[in-house]
Structure 1
């Protein structure tokens, strides 16, 4: 049975970055649209600069969170590089070997029972024969003149049974030890397979977390870059024509907004349309 590992929760920096991205994106659009009415630019620019600072802070936090998550993911990946299915196959083989050795040990135990019974019978016959054949009348009645051959034969049988019993006892111990080793091996392999499965599941979950963190980082970087470029362009225009100057214009911001629109079409069509509309109103200033 495979280990189930729940995917870890995303780092809190991801939620912080998402909030910062939404604010920065709103500030970007608001600043672009405010450029058409210069009186509203100061307020939009102040919000854009505040949103930019928040986005830049969120970027640093998100980068740190991503770096902190990469090392454990790499370590888990190297721990889980074994083949779980192969380990489980070896577990099955070890269990089969242990079962086969257990059956052999059971047969040896059965043979021991039979040999003990036969050894007991032989020893009983030896005692009985020795007592009966010690009598001359019994030997005469049985037509036996010497009891040595019969007792010798029974002794040989008894000794053979004893030797066989000891041999079977040794075999049983070896079989039991071998079966125990196989069971221990199966248990170790089973534990290792579970560890590998858990490591792989954790590595996959960490990879998914890293992917989500990287996606959030990439999206925030796009918005932060665009907002920073537009804020810098507006501030450049502000230095050249301070607030309240007659025929206040934003030529640098208009050019920068045009570049931003070109990049943003592949990112967010709705936002791109609003930025493009704002840019059309500023084309004459570029």
Structure 2
């Protein structure tokens, strides 16, 4: 039976529950029309009612599955609200600035290491000169020739230079270690910012995809709910007529079902244009019941 309600599926792919729901909806619509038309010939009602009950059971199971799938798809859209005002591009810009800061700190660290290297070389040279001068100045002939005393200021000056070099060396040791630590922190910050930017981009993309999926899923869910309600109403009415009146007695007919059909026709006729063919056949079936009961 052509229902005129084909699902328009567009990327991203819809969850498998949607296809199951569409099948259940189509079966339920067919069973609804078949049961309504069978009311005009009471002998065919039992088989039509059995099929309607089976279709109704399938529709309810599919409805429950589709509701669960829709709830699962809401998660990415909800995660979008947790992002606040975070922006992928701004995060990447901050990450780039952190990278630049790390690179500048690393350059300072290298300069500190180079200075430390030269200070250690000067320290070694000074210590060598102190040893050499100490040995040379221990000779009386050399001191006499130079006109200096054994406790002259040369060794003291060299000692001061050596100590200064060592103190500066230790200061640079501490400095470049702090610079290395700061550069590492900047690198870590840049990495975290890049990772967060990727997370934000992925979350936004997932939320956009989920929004499309939710829209299509909600449309099918609404269709299935309407058809399930209509079929359930007619099945209940026919069952009630079966209990209250003997089947096969055309004079008694199906008064509850006739009233239910009127409500179903109004509900389906005002809900979706795709139900035009269904409502037309239901109106014909209801017309055949006029005068019964």
How does the TM-score come out when normalised to structure 1?
Answer: 0.72
* Gap change, CA 1:132 and 1:201, over 3 Å in 2: same
Shift in Å, 1:211: 5.8
Q: Structure 1 residues 163, 246: closer, same or farther in 2, change over 3 A? A: closer
Going from structure 1 to structure 2, the CA distance change for 1:46 and 1:177 (only over 3 Å counts) comes to closer
Counterparts of 1:239 and 1:123, CA distance in 2: 117
CA contact (8 A) 2:80 2:207 kept: no
Shift of 1:241: 5.8
Contact 2:70-2:218 within 8 A present in 1 as well: no
Q: CA separation in 1, counterparts of 2:260 and 2:241?
A: 11
SS of structure 1 residue aligned to 2:280: helix
Alignment partner, residue 43 of structure 1: 47
Aligned counterpart in structure 1 of residue 184 of structure 2, from 177, 180, 185: 180
Contact 1:36/1:278 (CA < 8 Å) preserved in 2?
no
3-state SS of the aligned residue for 1:164? helix
Q: Unpaired segments of 5 or more residues in structure 1?
A: 1-6
How far apart, in 2, do the equivalents of 1:96 and 1:282 lie?
A: 79
Match of 1:30 in 2: 34
Mapping of residues 169-208 of structure 1, within 5 Å = 169-188=173-192, 190=194
**Are the aligned partners of 2:76 and 2:207 in contact in 1 as well (CA < 8 Å)?**
yes
Residue of 72, 79, 91 corresponding to 1:69:
72
CA RMSD of aligned residues (A): 4.1
1:275 to 263, 279, 282: 279
The two structures have a TM-score, normalised by structure 2, of 0.71
Size of the aligned set, in residue pairs, is 276
Q: Report the Cα offset of residue 234 of structure 1.
A: 3.7
Q: Select which of 119, 124, 134 maps to 1:120.
A: 124
Alpha-carbon separation, structure 1, partners of 2:243 and 2:133: 131
Q: Which residue of 2 aligns with 1:106?
A: 110
